Amino acid sequence: MALTAEGWRALAAPKTIAIIGATDRASGQNFTGRLMDGMANIGYPGKIYFVNPSRTELYGDACYPNLAALPEQVDAVAFSIPGEKMLIGIEEAIEHGAKALLMYPGGFLERGAGGAARHKKLIEICAKANIPALGPNCLGIINYVERTAFGAMRVPKDFKVGPIAGISQSGACASILAKIGSKYGLSFLASTGNEAITTMEDLIGAGIDDPTTKVVIAFVEMLRRPREIFELGRRAAEAGKHVIVLKVGLTDIGGQVSFGHTGAIAGSGEVYRQAFDQAGITMVEDFDELAQTVELMTVLKPRSKTCRIGFLGTSGGELSNIADTAVRMGVTVPEPSLQTQLAFQKIQNFPEDLFLKNPMDVGTGFASKTSYHDRMRACIRAVADDPAFDIVALHQGFGRDRSDLTLSLNYNMLTAAAEEAPTLPKPIIVTASVTGDVEPIIVAPILAAGVPMLQGSREAMKAIRHMEKHLQFADSLRQRNPETKADPALAASLKPWAGGMVSQAETFALLERRGIAAAKVRRVASAAEAEKAAADMGGPMVMKVDTPRIVHKSDVGGVALGVTASDAAQRFEALQGVIRAQAGKAVEGEGVVAMPMLAQGVEFYIGAHNDESFGPVVACGIGGRFLEILGKTALLVAPFDEAEALDAIERSGAKPFLDGFRGGPKADLKSLAAMMVKVGDLALALGDRLQVLDLNPVIVNEKAPGGSVADARLILKE
């Protein structure tokens, strides 16, 4: 069920609310008390009704035995009763006419077989009524703009309305998102819990559509409808908004914790990372990185599509460290122009043979009689005027380094940055090597000037790289390739052996039908047919055993290379002997296949399988035996285009080998990328039936610069 605009209004801004299971019990876990405190602090303008058959009054107001006894129909109903009793209450709420539900308690998918059965029934009931619902096992939603705290999350009295929307599947982590967002102001904060009905994807979409929200931050244990992130990323980019995700459960151990906590089944970490990247959604690794990325994306006003950094600072050691970190994180640190270096000589009174490089240590120029503050302003302007840089970065501490502010390097540099910021042709940021050492009086000028203030070298540089990737994604935004629909008839037309393996002959025929360049394969059922095949091919050929009983054919002598018409019969009989020597009964359809022998070249790998979260995923890398030795591949979630495939080839580390390495063949990378796109489309067409498709090796040589498949394995799920 997609969350409609009306459903969102009912969840986020209900004018009337009923609490089933309301109580005034003195406890920090009392849902009713927490909701009432939140509503009081936020200034909720609506009406709250209490429902509890054992009470007649709560918090000085009437308490009703059931929803039918209420004096009016309510917009939303919150449940604070055991999960075992909740289904009856939900049916009552739907019959009453409620437009949205909030389920605070657990007792569903995370509670074994009984909870799973209740979870399934809950989905059926709500789907039939088409009603939005948060939970079970959630803390609800706070709408700061319309002053509604529908749930059990704390609302400080000094809350600030602003551009950050926070969404978390963990209630505790929702409070961390609130803390990160409170610096800039929050539009809404949601704790979604088990997401039986309304999901993370729904609320990210609501944040993209919300006019107050500029940045959506999300703590994700799993996505219930993961392929929707591609559309969400496109919508966010078109709206000029950022979506930043902290995804957990990326390892086996982390995934086990998530399953026990929310009933989530963790997907492959690398696939999630790649999917978010293709969707234009920023994925961070921890809360510190999230906080710094939020700071940059909320405050920075970029003026170009790249983020080349010009660093200024007074500690050569710290500057060297952040420069190394920047390079590791993929941030460009270009050299200043000669004009800028000459300007620094004049500003800092340097010797004529001293030329600063990037990062620029301006702590070396103390021979100048000009005040330190004025010199810093001039240095900042010089870097900002240099076309080699897109962003000026002052790398300096945020703590108090002198009791006298007039002598403080930190204060003088940050003040200079704050004063120059409004008139610079480029944005300026300030960074510090460590987090936490912040003196309010030192950073006050920066905060007043609206200059991004990033703490921690790694986190700062990751944030800058995230910003650059987001800008480039938005700049090159294009409609994704139309997604190939699963074609049940295609999978049904294939006749795999028991276990799902498709024969070589049938696999290569399928590749040919899909326009994937591959060797021409034919079955040979006798020595005479082998001789004829060799004569027809007019050159050396390869013969292989074709049987599900042998996985690695070359390991058992199941591959014959350089076969000619003169020895084809003899070598055919040898391959038949290899098949007969295998344990187990003969399999109908097994035998020998022949194909032209491709000239030597670079061996590339293209493979596809179904990821449990995102469906068809394609991998590429150096192939042949090196695939197993190096184990290095790059992933793409299908569908993808040629540009994304070219990027994957480079990420896989295969590009240098495909670019004429040591006199080797130079690949037609565009054609190789086009082959990968076709493999992705084939994987989508095979749909859920696909278990694995391995094209290894794909030979790249002078006759086939775009690659030709020399060996293939296709296994379907039974």
Residues 45-96 pLDDT 10s: 999 999 999 999 999 999 999 999 999 999 999 999 998 899 999 999 999 9
pTM, two decimal places: 0.91
Q: Computed over its alpha carbons, how large is the radius of gyration of the chain?
A: 32
**What mean pLDDT is predicted for residues 693-706?**
94
Place of tokens 């979604």: 192
177 burial (CB, 10 Å; 0-12 / 13-18 / 19+) is buried
702 pLDDT band, cuts 50/70/90, is very high
Q: Which domains are delineated in the chain?
A: 5-284 (3.40.50.261), 303-475 (3.40.50.261), 520-596 (3.30.1490.20), 602-716 (3.30.470.20)
**What mean pLDDT is predicted for residues 295-307?**
95
263 pLDDT band, cuts 50/70/90, is very low
pLDDT given at position 252? 62
> How many angstroms separate the CA atoms of 44 and 147, rounded?
5
380 pLDDT band, cuts 50/70/90, is very high
Residue 48 forms beta bridges with which residues? 17
Count CB-CB contacts under 10 A for residue 618. Answer: 28
597 pLDDT band, cuts 50/70/90, is very high
pLDDT given at position 408? 87
Per-residue DSSP letters for 201-262? HHHHHHHHH-SS-SEEEEEES--SSGGGHHHHHHHHHHTT-EEEEEE---SHHHHHHHHHHH
Q: Tell whether the model's pLDDT for residue 258 goes beyond 60.
A: no
Count CB-CB contacts under 10 A for residue 200. Answer: 26
pLDDT given at position 262? 33
pLDDT given at position 628? 61
For the ranges 412-426, 559-573, 625-639, 695-709, the lowest mean pLDDT is seen at 625-639
**What mean pLDDT is predicted for residues 95-104?**
97
Contact 50, 66 (CB under 8 A): no
Q: Tell whether the model's pLDDT for residue 253 goes beyond 60.
A: no
**What mean pLDDT is predicted for residues 409-417?**
92
Number of residues in the chain: 718
pLDDT given at position 368? 67
Buried/exposed 443-482: b ≥16 CB within 10 Å, e otherwise: bebbeebebbbbbbbbbbbbbbbbbbebbebbeeeeebbe
First to last CA, the chain: 30
Residue 494 φ/ψ, nearest 5 degrees: -90, 145
> How many angstroms separate the CA atoms of 291 and 141, rounded?
21
Q: Residue type for 303, please?
A: R
Residue 51 forms beta bridges with which residues? 20, 64
User: Of the ranges 255-269, 397-411, 429-443, which is most confident?
Assistant: 429-443
* Torsion (CA) 37, 38, 43, 46 in degrees, nearest 10: -90
In this predicted model, which residue has the larger pLDDT, 365 or 474? Answer: 474
> How many angstroms separate the CA atoms of 1 and 164, rounded?
25
> How many angstroms separate the CA atoms of 427 and 437, rounded?
24
> How many angstroms separate the CA atoms of 512 and 173, rounded?
51
